[in-house]
A and B are shown apart, each in its own frame.
Chain A
Amino acid sequence: MSGLAVSNVTKQFGDFKAVENVNLSVPHGTFVCLLGPSGCGKTTLLRMIAGLEEPSSGAIVIDGEDITGVPTHKRNFGMVFQSLALFPHLSVGDNISYALRIRGTAKEEQRKRADELLKLVHLPGFADRPVTKLSGGQRQRVAIARALALSPKLFLLDEPMSALDAKLRESMQVELRQLQQRLGITTIVVTHDQREALTMADLVVVMGQGRIRQAASPIEIYRKPADAFVADFIGSTNLLDVSTDSAGRAVILGTAIPGLAMPQGTTKASVSIRPEDVHLGQPGSGAIEGTVTFVRDLGATIETYIEAGGSSIVAVTTPRERVDVAAGDKVGVILPAESCVVVKS
């Protein structure tokens, strides 16, 4: 198979399992985001793929070749570090052509490649500047260019945008995605920023406590979270208890939700529903009765916080929907069955 395959990989530090039994298959040319809270093992997994950390067990295979025991410097993977790790004693051009210099490539060749890569990352003519004189975004681009110098098989990035301010980060995400698509290079990015993952990735891998919770396309991760952890981590969501009553209907907060099917054999689970899918109306039959506790009008959207049967529900509406409610009002909350995702609790 062409691409990267991680099979049954576990990494143990003493008694602590940083990565546990991870299986992941990445087809050639895919953009993957490893997403998860800090300490979930995503960086350890990336470092194992790069060869900077040795798996306690399991295998890492690229294009059908087992590279688990191959040292980092023989893997030909490009990597961008969180600290960027630009060599402070070298100029921009020398940083970028470093990998070529190690391999004894001719000087003119090095220079040509550096200029080519600088053009690719929109920094033409920067070759002779010292890296210490660059701005954050420019350093970022130099680090990317350096990692791409040898046209690597895999492009790995460890929280590459964490040092940039919010605005620059957004534009760099788009730029990185466009660059990846132009080069068609298999790319793995570690991030804790779900926006970043949803912007760039073909495949989002959500990790929690050393395990892969779900690996799917961004839209599927958002629309069909596999479990409560994923639902809660990606975007904001309402997690509500659901159970089956004697008639076999799914009941949330004492109200039956017609059309909502529980998985076979389960009587208790959780339901995840995105705030923008929650509808508000007049209290009445078929609706969950609740009291508005707070309204946050953000201009483009309005967030309404509702207290219902001991649970808190958030609904996001647009001003166009004209849901004029204020704190203290009684409202009816409607949860459309098609928007409810039953997840393991």
Chain B
Amino acid sequence: MRREKPQSLADYTPLFFPGVMLVVFFVIPFSTMIAVSFFQRDPSGFYTTAFTLDNYARFLSLFFAKILGFSLLLSVTVAICCVALAFPFTYLLTRQVRKVQTVWLVALLSVLSLSEVIIGFAWSTLFSRTAGISNLFVGLGLLEKPVALYPTFGAVLTAMVYQAFPYTILVLYPALVRLDPTLLEAARTLGCSPMRAFFNVVVPALRNTVVATVIMVFVFALGSYLIPQILGRPQHWTLSVHITDQAIYQSNMPFAAAMAVFLVLISLALVGLTLLAGRKESAS
């Protein structure tokens, strides 16, 4: 298709509405946040307009470095778990008849209608000692007596993977549907067992999709701040939890803003590095 360059100002009008929305709801709030991150906190009130690097300096401590490290680790783990589970699942789903696919997709998408709060509390019940799944294990003879499975890291991870799982499938589904099924058959005629062919051909052929999905789930998981609070101990709190804590409970808006800016920068750097590594690998 041939595209003509916009000739006059009138040709730009379709861009006007999205442009305004982007400025009002993204550029202005984000700039405000960056500006606030340099302001000074006023303990008696909110904050005072100033230019100080104290907020960033405070962040560069071992305490916050640990939190940042934990947040990134948790998000990466969630992303890898999600893709590791969702990839074979979605692959098998795309091999089913249309009707089966629709039922599964509708069921999975309905999970998206649940808020983080509902997911968090639902899992806290499931992991509880009194009403949780450990009672089921006792009934099956796997456990002596029911135990509380939260607050633990495992509980946080499980709930976050549960929350991100439908998104992962949504991103993987189009690529896997388009995948040529004869690739797998070709590998089989060349002496690959079906399982080996899957890991040897299907996964590498979709490497770019897998990388993109890991990045998407990673970013999605970084924003989670309710589940770590509901299902985890304070050492399982992510940076997002601490940002909320500073902003709402400690009324330290400038420090919260500085942490948020830092989180954005670190995330962008990680995504950039991943893409760069991917490009280098495919070029070789």
Contact = CB atoms under 8 A, between A and B. Distances in A.
Interface of A: 50-52, 71-79, 81-83, 85, 87-89, 98-99, 102-103, 146-147, 149-150, 156
Interface in B167-201: 180, 182-183, 185-194, 196-197, 200-201
Give the 3 A-B residue pairs with the shortest CB-CB distance, closest first: A85-B186, A99-B190, A85-B182
A87 B185 contact: no
Given A52-B185, A85-B186, A102-B190, 5 more contacts: A73-B190, A73-B193, A73-B194, A85-B180, A102-B200
Contacts of A71: 188, 193
A72 B186 CA distance: 10
Contacts of B193: 71, 73
B207 interface: yes
11 contacts: A52-B185, A71-B193, A73-B191, A81-B185, A82-B182, A85-B180, A99-B191, A102-B191, A102-B200, A103-B191, A156-B189
Contacts of A72: 185, 188-189
Nearest to A103: B191
* Residue among B186, B193, B194, B197 with the highest chain A CB neighbour number at 10 A: B186
Contacts of A52: 185, 188-189
Contact of B188 (A73, A87, A103): A73
Contacts of A83: 180, 182
A152 to B, nearest CB: 9
Contacts of A79: 185-186, 189
Contacts of A89: 204-205, 207
A109 B188 CA distance: 21
Interface residues of B, number: 20
B277 to A, nearest CB: 16
Chain B binding surface SS class: helix
A77 B183 CA distance: 16
A83 B181 CA distance: 10
Contacts of B192: 73, 102
A70 B192 CA distance: 13
A99 B194 CA distance: 14
A85 B191 contact: no
A74 B205 CA distance: 24
Nearest to B197: A73
B205 A50 contact: no
A77 B207 CA distance: 29
Nearest to B207: A89
Nearest to A81: B182
A123 to B, nearest CB: 19
A85 B207 contact: no
Contacts of B190: 73, 98-99, 102, 146-147, 149-150
Contacts, number: 65
A221 B262 CA distance: 77
A78 B200 CA distance: 18
B209 to A, nearest CB: 12
B112 to A, nearest CB: 32
A73 B188 CA distance: 5
A147 B189 contact: yes
Given A52-B185, A81-B182, A81-B185, A87 B201 contact: yes
Contacts of A74: 191
Contacts of B197: 73
B182 A76 contact: no
A116 B205 CA distance: 26
B186 A81 contact: yes
A272 to B, nearest CB: 38
A215 B38 CA distance: 85
B189 A87 contact: no
Count chain A CB atoms within 10 A of each CB in B188, B191, B192, B201 and give the residue with the most.
B191
Contacts of B180: 83, 85
B186 A88 contact: no
A77 B189 contact: yes
Interface centre among B185, B194, B204 (most CB of A within 10 A): B185
A146 B205 CA distance: 17
Given A82-B182, A83-B182, A88 B189 contact: no
Contacts of A51: 188
Contacts of B205: 87-89
B146 to A, nearest CB: 46
Given A87-B183, A89-B207, A102 B188 contact: no
B189 A50 contact: yes
B86 to A, nearest CB: 20
A88 B180 CA distance: 11
A129 to B, nearest CB: 14
A51 B190 CA distance: 12
Nearest to A152: B189
A146 B182 CA distance: 14
Choose among A78, A89, A99 the residue with the greatest number of B CB atoms under 10 Å from its CB. Answer: A89
A85 B181 CA distance: 9
A150 B191 contact: yes
A89 B200 CA distance: 10
Query: Of residues B180, B183, B189, B200, which shows the largest number of chain A Cβ atoms within 10 Å of its Cβ?
Result: B189
Contacts of B185: 52, 72, 79, 81, 85
A72 B207 CA distance: 26
Nearest to B186: A85
A149 B182 CA distance: 18
Nearest to A130: B282
B189 A73 contact: yes
Q: In the complex, which of the residues B187, B197, B200, B204 has the most CB atoms of chain A within 10 Å of its own CB atom?
A: B187
B99 to A, nearest CB: 14
A52 to B, nearest CB: 5
A50 B191 CA distance: 12
Q: B183, B200, B204: which has the most chain A beta carbons within 10 Å?
A: B183
